[in-house]
Amino acid sequence: MQKRKLGTNGPEVPAIGLGCMGMSIQYGLLDDDQSIATIHHALDIGVNLLNTSDMYGNGKNETLIGKAIKDRRSEVILNSKFGQTRNPDGSGGVNGRPEYVQEACEASLKRLGVDHIEIYAQHRVDAEVPIEETVGAMARLIEQGKVSHLGLSEAAPETIRRAHAEHPMISVETEYSLWSRDVEEEILPTCQELGISLMPYAPLGRGFLSGTIQKVDDLVEGDRRRDHPRFAEENIAENIKKVQVVEKIAEDTGFKPAQIAIAWVLARDPNLVPIPGTKHTNYLDENLRAVDIQLTDEQILTLSDAFPLGATAGLRYPEPQMKRLGL
C-alpha cells in the first residue's frame, strides 16, 4: 500500500483511507456484519486509516468500529471527530465549548473501546466559541495521552490559521471531488502553506461520479442522499452529462469511472489523503486501484474542464446544513 504523510508532523498513512460513515448512516442498506468484514479486509491489505465521528449514527459508528478492531487495535490509525450534536427535538447543533471537548472525547474512547485516538478533529466549527478555546481543550487531550494529533473539518481558511497557531493541525477534512472544487480557491492553498494535509471525503461525489446513479430511483427508500439537492431529479439530469467525460477516460484507460475520479483527486497534491466511504470489500479493492493510475496532463485538464468550479447543479448539502460550513 502506498503511503502519504499527514501534515508536517503527523503519521504515515495509506494513500487512501476508509470512510466509515455509510456503515451506520443510510447510504443504501445497512449491514453490520458486512461492514465489519470490510474493515477487517481493509486492515488485511494495509488500509488502516479509519475515519469516523461521534455523530455518525449518534455513536453507533464508533461502537461498530470498536467491535471490529477489538483484537486488532495495534494495526489501526483512528480518526474520529466531535462537535456536531443532536438536540432532544431531533434538530442538530454544534458544540465547541472546552468542557464539551473533554466530555465528547471520553465518550468516543468508551464507544471505540480504546485508550487513545490517533487523530481527533472538530467536526464543525462552533461560531459562538473562539477556535482558540476549542483547540486549547483539544491540545489538553494530547497532554492527557488520549489523543495524538489534531484536525479540523469544514473550517474556513482564517479559522484554520488561528487553530494551527494555537496548536499544530495535521489535517483538514472537507468534501473535495470533481463536482465539489470550492476548496481549490482558498482552503487547499492555506493547507499547503501551513503544512496541513487535506483529507477529502466524498471524493466520488457521494457515489455519483461512479456513474451508477442515473436517477433518483437508483437510491433506495430512506437513502439520505434523496434529501441532498444534487440528487434532485432535475439536478441529476444535468450533472450526469459531466460524468460521461469520466466514463470516456475510464473506457480509454481500462479502469472504472470511480477509479478515475479518485485518481484525479490524488493528483491534486502529494500530501492529500482521500477517504472514500464504502461498506463493500469489492468497492474497497476497486477504490485502492486508483493509486496505480497515472493520469496524463491532458486527461487531468479534460476532467477539470468538464467540471468547472461551481458548475455542479445543486447545493452539496440541504440548506440548513450549508450554514454550518466554512466557519
CATH of the domain at 197: 3.20.20.100
Q: How confident is the model at residue 6 (pLDDT cuts 50, 70, 90)?
A: very high
- Whether 305 is in a domain gets the answer yes
- Whether 303 is in a domain gets the answer yes
- Whether 45 is in a domain gets the answer yes
Q: How confident is the model at residue 31 (pLDDT cuts 50, 70, 90)?
A: very high
Long-range contacts of 289-293 (CB under 8 A, 24+ apart): 289/255, 289/259, 290/16, 290/255, 290/258, 290/259, 290/260, 290/262, 290/263, 290/266, 291/1, 291/2, 291/15, 291/16, 291/263, 291/266, 293/253, 293/255, 293/259, 293/260, 293/263
The tally of domains found in the chain comes to: 1
Given this model, what pLDDT does residue 28 score?
77
**Out of 56, 176, 201, 283, which one is annotated catalytic?**
56
Give pLDDT tens digits for 67-120: 999 999 999 999 999 999 987 776 779 999 999 999 999 999 999 999 999 999
Q: How confident is the model at residue 162 (pLDDT cuts 50, 70, 90)?
A: very high
With a cut of 90, say whether residue 50 has pLDDT above it.
yes
154-190 burial code (b ≥16 CB/10 A, e <16): bbbbebbbebbebebbbbbbbbbbbbbbbbeeebbeb
- Whether 327 is in a domain gets the answer no
- Whether 278 is in a domain gets the answer yes
Q: Domain of residue 314: give its range.
A: 3-322
Averaged pLDDT for residues 312-318: 89
Given this model, what pLDDT does residue 220 score?
87
Which of 61, 40, 37, 41 lies closest to 51, judged by CA? 61
Averaged pLDDT for residues 137-160: 98
- Reduced to 3 states (helix: H, G, I; strand: E, B; else coil), residue 18 is strand
- Told to judge if 56 belongs to the known catalytic residues of this protein, a careful annotator would answer yes
Give pLDDT tens digits for 273-307: 999 999 999 999 999 999 999 999 999 999 999 99
* pTM recorded for the entire structure: 0.94
Distances 45 to 18, 77, 82, 133 between C-alpha atoms, Å: 12, 14, 28, 39
Which of 20, 118, 107 lies closest to 68, judged by CA? 20
Given this model, what pLDDT does residue 320 score?
83
